[in-house]
Structure 1
Amino acid sequence: MFPSSSSVYALAILVVIVTYAWQRRSRNVLLPPGPPGYPIIRNVYDIPQGYAWLAYNEWAKTYGDVFRVEAFGKTTIILNSLKAAMELLDKKSSNSSDRPRLVMADELMGWEWDFAHMAYSDRWRRHRRVFHQYFQPRNLASYYPIQKKVTATLLSQLGRSPENFAAHIRQHVSSVVLNAAYGYEVQAENDFYIQLAHKALQPLLSSVHAGHYLVDFLPFLKHVPRAGFKRRAEEWAVNTRALRDIPFNNVKQDIANGTGKQSFVSDNLDKINNDATLANREEEAEIIRNCAALVYLAGSDTSAAVVRSWFLAMAHHPDTQRKAQAEVERVVGDSRLPDFEDRPAMPYVEAMLLEVMRWAVITPLGVPHRMVKDDVYGGYRIPAGTTVTANVWAIFHDEQIYPEPFRFDPERFLKDGKLVFDQPDPTTIGAFGFGRRICPGRYLASNSSWIAIVSILATYNISKAKDERGNTIEPLIEFTDGVVSHPKPFTVSITPRSENSKKLVEAATQDMSS
């Protein structure tokens, strides 16, 4: 993945020698400990190329819960404890809400429009404001109809072709975000927009955290002609721009044709077009375009990972599934499907969703932060410009915080049948990020996951599948590498709970299609 040209390496050596000489002058500064590394290049060969959160968790046993890795003059500090992450990224978020420069992802692959990557700046604040105003909690009820409609479709699909449950889940979550962002209704699992998001996202997953591409350490390499990584980046950038532009431009065309549907894009375009005081409509339209694409991209991936992880947990924990089903039956009976107003009356299901996010960490390292000014933690100096990464996986598997952390146990969040956070709520300590960079779409994502899970509990049983000889197929508890971690492909059995549950699914499908 690194350029191989001898001239490139010669130039790189000159740069790192200068950098190393500058570093020598600062050796008296007390930085967090870390692997010793080599002169000049430091830890470039130590940085994990896969499942970094597991390696960092092991390193913490040697170097402590806060340690550093360095490469070519760039320092990354890893926070492996809840205390350190909350102190630096939450309590001091005004100083830690910047983002590091992502040369490969943003400058070469074209993701600079993704405001999750943007520097802590007025540009980021303007994007955040537009996004939050539309997807804040008080507006969530407006999405209930589409969330229920696509959930009815999901239930019907699980009855017809349960073996394709992973594709059905992706269609479900993509349908919600595409409708919310663009007013677009997904018609099939192989929908163009679903496939586009998948193609655009895959290269990004390995390029957010430094270590995969040398150009992130030595930015001047992006100017080297004909470098292999640049050719790949140019190919990937085609999908990056398509994901951002195609659905947005289609909405604009629909509005011009008089066929536009209500959505984030149409509502906000209408707002700026009717604002006579607005100085630069093109800039505002760009913000709308970028925010909509982030809804489309992030929402369709993270929520799918949550629901698939829940399927995996249910196959391994039938007793937990039965307890959740009993709660659903107690609240809604057997004459209707669950609805959003039932959510407060189902603490066990709520605890189950929280435990999925803790047990199967969807974003194990989150998105890296960057320090704006010098800071101090635990007696160590955290210099301005340093990249700071929270090992969310390590936090969620810390036995001092969550006893028996590898055990799936929703009851860790319950006491006397009520939600009690003697063990921290994972959604407030890293599942959706930290501080001012916490995910603004978390409420919509949570609702989409909840309505899918509770509706499946009401109508289906999930268990381990059997092969043609009747032998149990163990669904392995394994997860993919990357910024967003999904369960690796697995097989389960999905069967209707009863004849009545079949009728409920049929009735819901008919109601939503009428």
Structure 2
Amino acid sequence: MATRITETLEKLDVTPSTAAAAAAVALAIPLVYLTRSQCRQSLPPGPKGLPLLGNYLDFPSPQDNPWVTFDKWSRQYDSDVIHLNIFGTNVIVVNSHKAATALLERKSALYSERPRMTMINELINLNWHFGFMPHNDTWRIHRKIFAQHFNPSVVSGSKNHETSIKWNNVYLNNLLESPEELFTHVQHMVAGYALETTFGLQVQPSGKPDPFIGAAKQAVEALCSAALYGSYLVDYLPSLKNLPFTQARKDAAKWKVSTDIAVTVPFDLANALSKGNDVDNSSMVAQLLESGTFSEDDIRKVTTAAFANGSAATVSALLTFFLAMILYPDVQKQAQAELDKVVQGRLPEFSDERSLPYISALVKEVLRWNPAVPLAFPHQLTQDDVYESYQLPSGAVVIPNAWAILQDSNLYGPNTSAFDPSRFLKSDGTLDKSVKDPDAAWGFGRRVCPGKHFAESTLFLAIARTLYTFQINVFKDAQGREIKPTGEYTSGLIRYPKPFKCSIKPRSKEHREMIVSLVES
């Protein structure tokens, strides 16, 4: 028992000077196991917990890839939903497409709420992001604003395509000039495109410090580290937020500065510019301010969320694409063969998508193979529910395991750990509509990411044009030895491939000249 207590104190994010206070708070928790109305047998199966602590010691840390552990437990207990109890909080993890559809889609009215997210909303003050808002009128307004500007018809419009191509051209030229700065160029393209679309602002050239990209990266860092529910104990024990000197308080203070800048500076500048003459008023901010339909506060928060979203998952997906091309050269070869057949003497365009089924399948496989958000944002059940023979208690935190769903061999065939776009194709090379789209990568129910069409169009154009113009190979050192990427990812709500080196060169002199001409024109 003494060892267990020591282990628990080591896991608590409090300093020794506040350990006694934290212990007092913990001891004040009601004896939930004695008062819980649901008997343990009626809940979904899961690891047996300890009194008071519940499954706190069982819960994997973000560094331990919890989505993998949850999937393992699902197999161990032969159930596609599992249950944990952490300091009295019921946690239901959904590990299959079947369960996600039955609960989060068909009963979305019961599962559209967010749990209290103390770290992200109350300490870091990211409560302006509608992704973390309660399911209330403010959320509906913000969702409506976002949907108006990122629905499929707007994303496929000529103005949006023009801006996307502009930033893609900048990206291709940057990649040509300094391929070793791959990570920087991907971030620059995605952030630049998102910033111009939402605020009508321009970022600094790639490689130069940019305040907008810096603020967005810090906000995304906060999302990655703190928005994975339970990463900080304060999510389960909100009263701990008042304790001084905790790691949660220290981290929140660091991130809060950048997130406050992100929600203030770009909008204020865009607002000021929109009132001047000879200004392009096609940005999201300009259009919303001109309409006068919504308050400035609502516009500020929604557009900031749009910019932050545009700087996160899409960057992860594009870096995953480069990783896959290095590890699976045959896929790259097949994709380039399709491009060479369809596109001749010019760069791929959005209009080529229907003629490029293998590229479309490759985009789907990027989203499936290593999803940027392996555990979707947490939901909260608002009233008691039933799944098969299991009772799901009201107030439970529901965590969809997108990674487990996207790795399901019943949906995507054998060897799901391999990168294989052909799993989405028929034998004749056309897209197989019977194979489930990797929609789990974008969330579930009423909380599905409304920016998915924007992100998918960005991915298609970037992947098609990169493969048409460049050859991506394993990096070789001065002695000619190949240095393959480890394939490791960062941890957190949004994850990225860890930095890796690769060789990126134009496929031919003609392809090089094609890229150079983009800047000259």
> Deviation digits for residues 120-152 of structure 1, max 9, x if unmatched?
111111111111011111112221111111111
Structure 1 residues 204, 330: closer, same or farther in 2, change over 3 A? same
Q: Quick check: 1:143 aligned with 2:155?
A: no
**Could you report, residue by residue, the CA deviation over 1:235-282 in whole angstroms, capped at 9, with x for unpaired residues?**
32111111111100111121234464331111101111xx6xxxxx6x
For residues 502 and 298 of structure 2, the distance between their equivalents in structure 1, rounded to whole angstroms, comes to 42
Distance 1:204 1:368 in 2: 13
Cα shift readout 1:98-121 (whole Å, capped 9, x = no counterpart): 111100110110111110011111
Determine the structure 2 residue equivalent to 1:14: 27
The runs of 5 or more residues in structure 1 that have no matched partner are 276-280
TM-score (norm 1): 0.93
Instruction: Provide Cα deviations, 1:438-495, integer angstroms capped at 9, x if missing partner.
Output: 1111111111111111111111111111110011111222222111121111111111
What do the CA deviations read for 1:29-74 (whole angstroms, capped 9, x no partner)? Answer: 7111111111111111111112111111111122222111111110
The verdict on how the C-alpha distance between 1:332 and 1:13 changes in structure 2, with shifts beyond 3 A counting, is closer
Tell me, in whole angstroms, the C-alpha distance in 2 between the residues paired with 1:363 and 1:410.
20
Q: Does 1:219 align with 2:238?
A: yes
Does 316-325 or 454-463 show the bigger shift? Answer: 316-325
Could you tell me which residue of structure 2 aligns to residue 117 of structure 1?
A: 132
Q: After alignment, is 5-14 or 133-142 more displaced? A: 5-14
Specify the code of the residue in structure 2 equivalent to 1:235.
Answer: K
Choose the corresponding residue for 2:405, options 372, 395, 399: 395
Aligned to 1:79: 94
Work out which of the residue numbers 257, 276, 283 in structure 2 matches 1:238: 257
- Among 129, 138, 148, the alignment partner of 1:133 is 148
1:205–1:482 contact (8 Å) kept in structure 2: yes
Sequence identity (%): 36
Secondary structure in structure 2 of the residue aligned to 1:406: coil
Q: How does 1:172-321 map to 2 (within 5 A)?
A: 172-189=189-206, 190-258=209-277, 260-262=279-281, 263-272=283-292, 284-321=295-332
**Distance across 2 between alignment mates of 1:228 and 1:329:** 54
SS for the counterpart of 2:126 is coil
Q: CA separation in 2, counterparts of 1:210 and 1:138?
A: 34
Out of 410, 435, 438, the residue aligned to residue 423 of structure 1 is: 435
Deviations 1:215-238 (A, max 9, x none): 111112223345442243123211
Match of 1:380 in 2: 390
Equivalent pair of 1:181/1:264 in contact (CA under 8 Å): yes
User: Which residue pairs with 1:358 in the alignment?
Assistant: 368
Contact 1:260 1:266 (8 Å CA) reproduced: no
CA contact (8 A) 1:32 1:381 kept: yes
Report the alpha carbon displacement of residue 386 of structure 1 after superposing the two structures with TM. Answer: 0.8
Structure-2 separation of matches of 1:304 and 1:327: 25
Equivalent of 1:35 in 43, 47, 51: 47
Structure 1 CA distance for aligned equivalents of residues 22 and 122 of structure 2: 21
In structure 2, the residue matched to 1:100 is 115
Q: How does 1:488-499 map to 2 (within 5 A)?
A: 488-499=498-509
Distance 2:23 2:357 in 1: 61
- Give secondary structure in 2 for the equivalent of 1:324: helix
Write the distance in 1 (CA, Å) between the matches of 2:134 and 2:436.
29
Task: Find the residue that maps to 1:400 and give its secondary structure.
Answer: helix
Match of 1:52 in 2: 66
RMSD: 1.6
Greater shift in the superposed pair: 176-185 or 502-511 = 502-511
Match of 2:75 in 1: 61
1:258-309 per-position Cα deviation (integer Å, ceiling 9, x unaligned): 464331111101111xx6xxxxx6xx22111111111111111111111111
* Paired amino acid for 2:353: R
* Count of residue pairs the alignment pairs up: 498
Alpha-carbon deviations, 1:8-29, whole Å to 9, x = none?
2243133224444433x54367
- 8 Å CA contact 1:176–1:448 kept in 2: the answer is no
Q: Quote how far apart the aligned CAs of 1:7 are.
A: 4.3
CA distance in 1, matches of 2:73, 2:44: 13
Q: Distance in 1 between matches of 2:266 and 2:125?
A: 17
Which digits, 9 at most, give the CA deviation of each residue in 1:312-342, with x for residues without a partner? 1111222211221121122221x21111111
Equivalents in 2 of 1:322, 1:227: separation in Å? 52
User: Given the superposition, is the C-alpha separation of residues 28 and 477 from structure 1 closer, same or farther in structure 2, using an over 3 Å criterion?
Assistant: closer
2: CA distance between counterparts of 1:259 and 1:73? 59
Structure-2 residue corresponding to 1:278: none
Task: Name the amino acid aligned to 2:271.
Answer: K
Secondary structure of 2:488's counterpart equals: coil
Q: Secondary structure, in 3 states, of the residue corresponding to 1:206? A: helix
Partner of residue 367, structure 1: 377
Residues 1:347 and 1:228: Cα distance change in structure 2 (over 3 Å): closer
Match of 2:457 in 1: 447
Aligned mates of 2:40, 2:123 — CA distance in 1: 36
Q: Distance in 2 between matches of 1:152 and 1:137?
A: 23
CA distance in 2, matches of 1:311, 1:16: 48
TM-score by length of 2: 0.92
- Secondary structure of the residue aligned to 2:84 is strand
Instruction: Give SS of 1:493's match.
Output: strand
For 1:483, give the aligned amino acid.
L
| Structure 2 residue matching 1:465: 3-state secondary structure | strand
Distance 1:309 1:251 in 2: 32
**How big is the shift at 1:353?**
0.5
SS in structure 2 opposite 1:509?
A: helix
Structure 1 stretch displaced more, 228-237 or 36-45:
228-237
1:162 maps to what in 2?
179
Give me the whole-angstrom Cα distance separating, in 2, the residues matched to 1:206 and 1:42.
Answer: 23
